Amino acid sequence: MLRAYALPRCLTVVLTSMVLSASLCLLAPQTVNAVHPELEHTSELLGDGLYYDAFTKLAKLIPTLSVESADRSAAQMLMSKALMKLELYQSALRSLDAVRVAPGHSFYKEKISSYLAIQRVLPGNLATVERLNEAKSVVFSAKDLPELNYLLGRYHFDAQEYDSALSKLRVTLPTAGEFYLKARYLMGVIYAAKKQYRLGLNAFKDLLRFADRVGRPDYYGPYEQRALTALGRLLFSQGKHEAAGRYYDRIKEGTSFWLDSLFELGWTYFHLRQFDRVLGQLHTLNSPYFEDRYYPEARVLEALILFRTCRFPETLVVVQRFLRDYKPLRKELDNQLGGDRTDAEFYWYLARLAGEKEELSVALRRIFNAALNDKELQRMFTLVSKLGAEQRRLQKLKRNTDAPKTAQKLIDDLGRVRNVMISEAGAMARLRLTQVRQELTEIIRQGLRIKYETLKARRNSINDKVRRAMAETAASVSKPRNKDAEHVVWPFDGTYWRDELGGYTYQIQSKCKPKHFPSGWKGRKPVAASAAKSGK
């Protein structure tokens, strides 16, 4: 159940503008003092905050310099500084690429540090990470190494180069703070993908141990909840349901992980045969407080328990409601995914939907929200948006410079990069929605299967496997819970208690008769039926 969604590699865009020449020779690794008088003047302009003037001067100067000269690299370095001061980071990246110097050169460390600075402003820009991956780690300061190792670890993880990723991540120590937590969590994901579950569990537990080793800084809370969720999922996938339940129980109400943990804890209770607690979790998820969340499988799980307790009329009611709600929804989703839109057109379609909420039904919007709330996808969407803002700043630069042709080349270069990213974002979003559609199709199939088996069970025409499941369920259902200091029992009248969400149990007893069990079954007799609910 542990999921990780990897960000695909961006396409490399080859740019050929005059400013961003790709044919520069590497300068030797010695300090070269630039002597061109215009460079000193440009440095003064930058120091005075006259960034437009500095850009204009450099745009005119760079084409006049020999591509092998030290002045050319010095000019490109200054151009990158001017562009970064103007918040034109993608354009600055291309200028940095034109600074062709070897490790040991006086510009090398500054160039690599600038790549890291751009990555911080444009997270998700794979181009900067690729350049950092090629750099020599010795040029980075000690305080930047944890961040660098995490970025490179994620870079190798996305490429499914798991051993390379681990080699970058495992060197980070708890003293690195938040980047230690990021690194350990990603290590847990990688170990789970490699089926090295013990190592994965230990990596996730390191996030919990952090509180004892370092403390609980302000940023710690979400990492703790994420680790608890991951531990629950990994233990569940190994069939260690009691241990999984203990971690799910520690997830705090109100956090972004809580509702998912309730649903997953419901499945945990199901495998532990604590059916009253399963239905209690589903009772919370069905409350009006969470009607904007998407949990279609919850209905099928409820129907399955009702079926196994021989509550056939109730089973059919739940299944019919589920099919009534979700079969048309799947058709609506098919319509949204259909057609001949390109990936870029699909991105713009989603962008338009974000501003026109009435175009989608409430139910379909739940699906879109659930499908597109993926961190990597959100990072890509954010990057596209930031590049759009940079395009507008470039237009302003073009209006305020005496080098409009150079500015236009930067606009064209950025447009090509952004178009590639738009297509990738659209493709990623389409893929995620297609996966959700496939999952919904499978859940609908399960619902139809329960309906079919229910109709057969009414005629007592069920196989031995189903009979055994009914018998085992009858032996496991809870006895009626008595009132005590922590519990109140009452017939449900449609009212939810906000402070009791997540603490309900739903008392259910089997209505199965001996004829529903395998021949010769001698398990525990089912107790009398009851429909009360209890909250704690």
Q: Which of 158, 155, 157, 136 is nearest to 145 (CA)?
A: 136
Predicted confidence at residue 277, as pLDDT, reads 84
DSSP string, 116-174: HHHHHHSTT-HHHHHHHHHS-GGGS-TTTHHHHHHHHHHHHHHTT-HHHHHHHHTT--G
Beta strands in 157-225 (DSSP E): none
User: Taking the CB of residue 350, how many other CB atoms lie within 10 A of it?
Assistant: 18
β-bridge partners, 27 = 101
**Residue 25 pLDDT greater than 50, yes or no:** no
Spatial separation of the C-alpha atoms in residues 204 and 181, rounded to whole Å: 9
Predicted confidence at residue 306, as pLDDT, reads 93
Between 82-91, 156-165, 472-481, the lowest mean confidence (pLDDT) is in 472-481
Spatial separation of the C-alpha atoms in residues 161 and 248, rounded to whole Å: 31
Answer whether 411's CB lies under 8 Å from 90's CB: no
Helix/strand/coil percent split, the chain, to 5: 65, 0, 30
> What does the angle CA 381 – CA 385 – CA 391 come to, to the nearest 5 degrees?
145
Answer whether 106's CB lies under 8 Å from 138's CB: no
Tokens of 47: 């120091």
Tokens of 246: 């203990």
Answer whether 59's CB lies under 8 Å from 19's CB: yes
**Residue 77 pLDDT greater than 80, yes or no:** yes
The end-to-end CA distance of the chain, in Å, is 28
Predicted confidence at residue 460, as pLDDT, reads 87
Q: Which of 96, 10, 141 is nearest to 416 (CA)?
A: 10
Q: In percent, how much of the chain has pLDDT > 90?
A: 58
Contacts of 311 (CB under 8 A, 6+ apart): 508, 511
Tokens of 310: 């021989």
Mean pLDDT of 338-367: 81
Of 56-70, 184-198, 522-536, the range with the highest mean pLDDT is 184-198
β-bridge partners, 487 = 484
To 10 degrees, what angle do helices 70-85 and 37-47 make? 20
Tens of pLDDT, residues 110-144: 999 999 999 999 998 889 999 999 987 778 889 99
pLDDT band with cut points at 50, 70 and 90 for residue 302: very high
Spatial separation of the C-alpha atoms in residues 142 and 478, rounded to whole Å: 58
**Residue 2 pLDDT greater than 90, yes or no:** no
Task: Name the class of domain 12-135.
Answer: mainly alpha
**Residue 451 half-sphere exposure toward CB, CA atoms < 13 A:** 16
Mean pLDDT of 132-157: 92
pLDDT band with cut points at 50, 70 and 90 for residue 271: very high
Give the three-state DSSP class for 533.
Answer: strand
pLDDT band with cut points at 50, 70 and 90 for residue 250: very high
Distances in Å between the alpha carbon of 83 and those of 80, 86, 122? 5, 5, 14
**Residue 515 half-sphere exposure toward CB, CA atoms < 13 A:** 6
Long-range contacts of 463-471 (CB under 8 A, 24+ apart): 464/518, 467/516, 467/517, 467/518, 467/521, 468/517, 468/518, 468/521, 469/308, 470/308, 470/309, 470/310, 470/510, 470/512, 470/516, 470/517, 471/512, 471/516, 471/517, 471/518, 471/521, 471/523
Predicted confidence at residue 65, as pLDDT, reads 92
Mean pLDDT of 290-300: 82
Whole-prediction pTM: 0.83
Answer whether 90's CB lies under 8 Å from 122's CB: yes
Burial 474-512 (b: 16+ CB within 10 A, else e): bebbbeeeeeeeeeebeeeeeebeeebbbbbbbbbbbbb
Mean pLDDT of 372-398: 92
- Domain boundaries of the chain, sorted by first residue: 12-135
Spatial separation of the C-alpha atoms in residues 295 and 60, rounded to whole Å: 60
DSSP string, 348-399: HHHHHHHH-GGGS-HHHHHHHHHHH--HHHHHHHHHHHHHHHHHHHHHHHHH
**Residue 32 pLDDT greater than 60, yes or no:** no
Burial 212-237 (b: 16+ CB within 10 A, else e): eeeeeeeebeebbbbbbbbbbbbbbe
Predicted confidence at residue 508, as pLDDT, reads 78
